[in-house]
Amino acid sequence: MSQPVSRTATVDASPSAILKVLTDVKAYPQWQKEVDEVELLATDEQGRPQTVRVNVTAMGMKANYTLDYRYPAENVFEWKLVDGDMITANDATYTLTDNGDGSTNLNVEMLLGVKWKLPEFMIDQMIQKAVNDYIKGIKSQAEV
């Protein structure tokens, strides 16, 4: 299992615009190249995604997993792994801090683990790249 990855980036958008990107699960395949398909299985009482099934392909390998989406506080969004075929961990917390100037500090903390038969250093590099690409994708969608 890899170590948690933490990254912070400034996004030229409001926290609500970023949360909109994070909760528009059907659009994930448009800005996350590893995501093949997303299925919304359940929503909460406010209509936000609650249970989501994701199919991905990375480094030529496929995986399917289910996430539980949580909203523990204002401008905080999380997901936790419910189950997965090749994914052993996929937990993330997104903390959004409004800078008061139209920009937001986005802090991402993510723990990923896979069963793929690859050297550990390759898995670590893949996870680091995935988190960086994820932040770039969020920025590209929110900064419009």
Both structure tokens of 19: 């949360």
Looking at residue 2, its pLDDT comes to 63
Please say if the pLDDT value at position 110 is more than 60: yes
Please say if the pLDDT value at position 105 is more than 90: yes
User: Rounded mean pLDDT of 2-24?
Assistant: 93
Burial tier of 11 (Cβ tally within 10 Å: 0-12, 13-18, 19+): buried
Please say if the pLDDT value at position 1 is more than 70: no
Looking at residue 143, its pLDDT comes to 96
Total residues found in the chain within this entry: 144
Question: What's at 60, amino acid-wise?
Answer: G
Please say if the pLDDT value at position 118 is more than 80: no
Strand order across the beta sheet in which 5-11 lies: 5-11, 104-114, 87-98, 76-84, 61-73, 49-58, 35-43
Looking at residue 74, its pLDDT comes to 95
Task: Please name the residues in contact with 138: beta carbons below 8 A apart, sequence gap of 6 or more.
Answer: 11, 18, 21, 22, 31, 106
More confident residue, 68 or 58: 68
Looking at residue 69, its pLDDT comes to 98
In order of their start, the domains of the chain are: 5-142 (3.30.530.20)
Distances in Å between the Cα of 21 and the Cα atoms of 15, 30, 102, 137 are 10, 11, 16, 9
Please say if the pLDDT value at position 122 is more than 90: no
